[in-house]
């Protein structure tokens, strides 16, 4: 396990050394979202009975931060290693594809959870939150971060330039999180867009995470967990096969 532990430590240290960029910046961004949307809509919108809009918004912002930063960690690390050429030092080690996969994804989960915890600590002062089902909060946070860390690993293996990774993040990850119910309930959408939202796996992660706070959601949390788990397994299978074959890594 020494090889796995060393690679994991290296990946955690990589984002910790630039914590202002990797941890502080996304926390400040989420804070700005809360201040703007909460101030404008708190007195005019009530998504769930008895729940202020600011309170509704906070879990969405926390989960959005977890997902986006978990993806950014594994994808940026791999692309950076490929461009600078130091990836060869990982490939030369006697690490199995399982160990490489676990180290990169676990480090992504650590960063995602660290940012999410920071966002929660800062924003929780602005509204009274309940914790109806805390286990669902933890489960969706961990599984969601794992899924996005795995997706980031796949993207990091596949792309060859930073602009390709940025395009993937800007045109897929960010829109998918914004359109997953972070700022609204899908029940407020027209029927067609409600149907479209149910094809977005990010919706189930955020909806299930929010259920842990309020005991209210658009979809049953068990159904949401099942869908997210299936997506996670499929992505993990793809990532492990790519690592095992050396796809775009050993050329």
pLDDT value, residue 135: 95
* pLDDT tens figures, 63-83: 999 999 999 999 999 999 988
Q: Are 7 and 95 in contact (CB under 8 A)?
A: yes
Contact 201, 116 (CB under 8 A): no
Q: Which residues of 54-79 are buried (b: 16+ CB within 10 A; e: fewer)?
A: bbbbbbbbbbbbbbbbbbbbbbbbbb
Q: Residue 185, SS3?
A: coil
Q: What is the pTM of this model?
A: 0.93
Task: Give the span between the Cα atoms of 166 and 178, in whole angstroms.
Answer: 16
Q: What is the pLDDT of residues 82-116, one digit of tens each?
A: 888 888 888 888 899 999 999 999 999 999 999 99
Instruction: Enumerate the domain spans of the chain.
Output: 2-245
C-alpha span between 48 and 56 (Å, rounded): 8
pLDDT in tens, 4-28: 999 999 999 999 999 999 999 999 9
């Amino acid at each position: 396990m020494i090889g796995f532990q060393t690679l994991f430590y290296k990946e955690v240290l990589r984002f910790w050394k630039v914590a202002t960029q990797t941890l502080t910046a996304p926390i400040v961004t989420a804070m700005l979202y809360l201040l703007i949307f909460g101030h404008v809509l708190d007195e005019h919108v009530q998504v769930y009975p008895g729940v202020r809009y600011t309170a509704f918004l906070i879990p969405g912002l926390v989960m959005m931060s977890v997902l986006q930063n978990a993806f950014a960690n594994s994808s940026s690390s791999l692309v950076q290693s490929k461009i600078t050429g130091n990836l060869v030092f990982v490939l030369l080690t006697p690490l199995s594809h399982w160990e490489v996969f676990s180290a990169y994804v676990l480090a992504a989960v650590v960063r995602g959870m660290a940012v999410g915890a920071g966002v929660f600590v800062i924003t929780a002062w602005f509204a009274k939150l309940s914790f109806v089902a805390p286990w669902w909060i933890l489960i969706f946070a961990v599984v969601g971060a794992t899924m996005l860390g795995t997706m980031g690993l796949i993207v990091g293996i596949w792309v060859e330039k930073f602009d390709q990774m940025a395009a993937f993040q800007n045109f897929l990850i960010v829109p998918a999180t914004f359109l997953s119910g972070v700022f609204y309930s899908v029940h407020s959408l027209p029927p067609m867009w409600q149907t479209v939202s149910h094809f977005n796996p990010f919706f189930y992660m955020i909806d299930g995470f929010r259920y842990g706070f309020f005991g209210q959601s658009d979809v049953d949390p068990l159904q949401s967990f099942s869908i997210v788990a299936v997506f996670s397994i499929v992505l993990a299978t793809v990532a492990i096969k790519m690592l095992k074959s050396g796809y775009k890594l050993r050329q």
